[in-house]
Amino acid sequence: GAGVSQSPSNKVTEKGKDVELRCDPISGHTALYWYRQSLGQGLEFLIYFQGNSAPDKSGLPSDRFSAERTGGSVSTLTIQRTQQEDSAVYLCASSLVLSGWQYFGPGTRLTVT
Partner 1 sequence: KNEVEQSPQNLTAQEGEFITINCSYSVGISALHWLQQHPGGGIVSLFMLSSGKKKHGRLIATINIQEKHSSLHITASHPRDSAVYICAVSRNFGNEKLTFGTGTRLTIIP
List binders of partner 1 among 66-85 (CB under 8 A).
none
Cβ-based neighbours of 70, under 8 Å, separated by 6 or more: 76
Q: Which amino acid is at 3?
A: G
Cβ atoms of 15 and 102 closer than 8 Å: no
44 sits near partner 1 (criterion: CB under 8 A) = yes
Query: CB–CB of 92/6 below 8 Å?
Result: yes
What amino acid is encoded at 37 in this protein? Q
Least CB distance from residue 83 to partner 1, whole Å? 23
Does the protein bind partner 1 through residue 50 (CB under 8 A)?
yes
Is the Cβ of residue 16 or residue 45 nearer to partner 1 in the bound state? 45
> Cα(83)–Cα(14) distance, rounded to whole angstroms?
8
Q: Which of 107, 108, 110, 112 binds partner 1 (CB under 8 A)?
A: 107
Q: Which residues bind partner 1 (CB under 8 A)?
A: 31, 33, 35, 42-45, 48, 50, 56, 59, 91, 93, 95, 98-107
